[in-house]
């Protein structure tokens, strides 16, 4: 079954080109599109079912940053992937903190973009090692990072590691021999125990407490290829 997507970008040729690529190679279906943030909000309100929004940042009438804030106020669980030509570290961190599920450059390779979008739909987010490192560098150390050994159970640490590896609840359940529902329960407990608002917070917590390690070789390869 095709994944239902809404696309917002003010460049008609780019929209058409992206739609063709994703429809041909990624089993996606576009159920709405907009040329600015104001149009997008209207499309979202009138489209009953969709799984993901692809959002550009530089748009007239209402830019992507303002639009993302509005989308999160409508539904904080909405999956929004930022696709922009402005691949700036500070901007990436800001958008993730505002609730974006991922951030892609417009010159991203189609295969990587398609894989990332599928990960968002299945998992709820897609953070490359580069983005994870940016989040870590941005984090101000504080009391919220109680020692993991005193806070989390061994099972919760296992689930957290798998979440950082961007695995779905079904995949985690299969590997740990527990149900997907149990995995979701652990995820909710992790959010509560670590005082995290989303997966980004959990990943930062895991990195800071040595539960999840970013492989430097993978990180450098990502930076060089981007």
7 three-state secondary structure:
strand
48 and 54 Cβ atoms separated by less than 8 Å: no
- The residue among 125, 146, 173 that closes a domain is 125
pLDDT in the model for residue 220:
42
pLDDT in the model for residue 53:
98
Q: For residue 178, count CB atoms less than 10 angstroms from its CB and return exposed for 0-12, middle for 13-18, buried for 19 or more.
A: middle
| Domain span holding position 28 | 3-125
Query: Are 157 and 102 in the same domain?
Result: no
pLDDT in the model for residue 131:
86
Query: Are 145 and 105 in the same domain?
Result: no
Is position 131 within any domain?
no
Total number of domains constituting the chain: 2
pLDDT in the model for residue 214:
61
29-52 CB burial, b ≥16 within 10 A, e <16: ebbbbbbbbbbbbebbeeeeebbb
CATH number, domain containing residue 163: 1.10.10.10
Query: Are 141 and 109 in the same domain?
Result: no
| pLDDT averaged per 10 residues, the chain (length 226) | 93 94 89 96 94 93 92 92 87 88 92 93 88 74 44 86 87 92 90 81 79 56 40
Question: What is the per-residue pLDDT across 12-30, written as a single tens digit (0 to 9) for each?
Answer: 999 999 999 999 887 899 9
pLDDT in the model for residue 216:
43
Q: Which helix (H) or strand (E) holds 15?
A: helix 12-26
Query: Are 114 and 162 in the same domain?
Result: no
């Amino acid at each position: 079954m095709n994944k239902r997507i809404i696309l917002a970008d003010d460049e008609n040729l780019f929209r058409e080109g992206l739609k063709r690529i994703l429809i041909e190679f990624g089993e996606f279906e576009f159920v709405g599109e907009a040329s600015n943030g104001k149009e997008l909000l209207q499309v979202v309100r009138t489209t009953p079912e969709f799984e993901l929004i692809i959002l550009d940042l530089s748009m007239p009438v209402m830019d992507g940053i303002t639009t993302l804030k509005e989308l999160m106020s409508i539904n904080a669980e909405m999956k929004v992937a930022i696709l922009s030509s402005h691949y700036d570290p500070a901007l990436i961190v800001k958008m993730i903190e505002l609730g974006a599920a991922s951030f892609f450059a417009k010159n991203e390779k189609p295969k990587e973009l398609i894989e990332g979008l599928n990960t968002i739909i299945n998992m709820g987010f897609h953070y490359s090692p580069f983005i994870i490192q940016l989040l870590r560098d941005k984090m101000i150390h504080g009391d919220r990072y109680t020692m993991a050994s005193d806070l989390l159970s061994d099972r919760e640490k296992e689930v957290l590691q798998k979440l950082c590896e961007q695995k779905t609840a079904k995949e985690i359940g299969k590997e740990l021999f527990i149900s997907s529902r149990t995995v979701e329960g652990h995820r909710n407990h992790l959010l509560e125990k670590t005082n995290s608002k989303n997966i980004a917070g959990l990943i930062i917590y895991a990195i800071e407490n040595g539960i999840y390690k970013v492989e430097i070789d993978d990180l450098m390869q990502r930076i060089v290829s981007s």
